[in-house]
Amino acid sequence: MILGKILGAVVLSKMDEKLKGKTLLIVQPLNENEQPFGKPLIAIDMMGAGFGETILMVKGKEAVLRLPEPHPPIDYGVNAIVDDIFIVKEAKKRKE
Amino acid sequence: MLICKVIGNVVATKKEPKFKGKKILVVQPIEVDGEPYGNSFETIDIVQAGVGDIVLVTVQGSSARDALGDMKMPIDSVIVGIIDEIQMD
């Protein structure tokens, strides 16, 4: 999974049948210090996440496995809304 | 699978119901000599790993779900072991 920040959402006019009624969020990937890295991507919302919230999202088919069949064609899914992140600085020192 | 160092954890009360009772840890991929590389990511712990541990992480979704014994689990990686020693010639 990776951390992300919800930037917004996309609304589709023409779409794959299985995407109907799904909320598609624009998410900016974040590193462990909540700094953005890489480009924003689109993930299906499964947690009712709101704009600006920090979330966790899973990549790949696993994103939609828990949804009822037929699974929508989606490769990123929000599966947690983050309350806190605890990072231990010295745990990252270069040499043991 | 990747060798990673556990550098923190994430608390999320509102989460995937199947994650209840499981820790979400932040791991940083490292080289065999301990040198960090690439981006850190978050994963589920099933071996009671703690911050600072060197761990083995399965990063393929299907194997991760297998390790958790639930083929519908929305997870793409799992900590499957704590590394005590790395032997290199």
Range of the domain at A36: 2-81
pLDDT digits (tens, 9 = 90+) for A28-75: 999 999 999 999 999 999 999 999 999 999 999 999 988 888 999 999
For residue A26, what is the domain's CATH number? 2.40.50.220
Cα–Cα distance, B58 to A24 (Å, whole number): 28
pTM, full prediction: 0.89
Q: Read off the tokens for A96.
A: 């043991």
Residue A91, domain member (yes or no): no
- Contact list in A for residue B10 (CB cut-off 8 A) is 3, 56, 80, 82, 84-86
Determine whether the interchain pair B14/A56 forms a contact, defined as Cβ–Cβ distance below 8 Å.
Answer: no
Q: Does A72 touch chain B (CB under 8 A)?
A: no
Domains and their CATH numbers in chain B: 2-82 (2.40.50.220)
Residue A70, domain member (yes or no): yes
What is the DSSP-derived secondary structure letter of residue A6? E
pLDDT digits (tens, 9 = 90+) for B47-57: 999 999 999 99
pLDDT digits (tens, 9 = 90+) for B10-60: 999 999 999 998 999 999 999 999 999 999 999 999 999 999 999 999 999
Nearest CB neighbour to B39, from listed A31, A56, A84: A31
Count CA atoms within 13 Å of residue A20 on its CB side: 3
Residue A86, domain member (yes or no): no
How many domains would you assign to chain A? Answer: 1
**Residue A94 pLDDT exceeds 60:** no
Among B16, B9, B27, B11, which residue's Cα sits nearest to residue B81? B27
Cα–Cα distance, B19 to A85 (Å, whole number): 16
Residue A88, domain member (yes or no): no
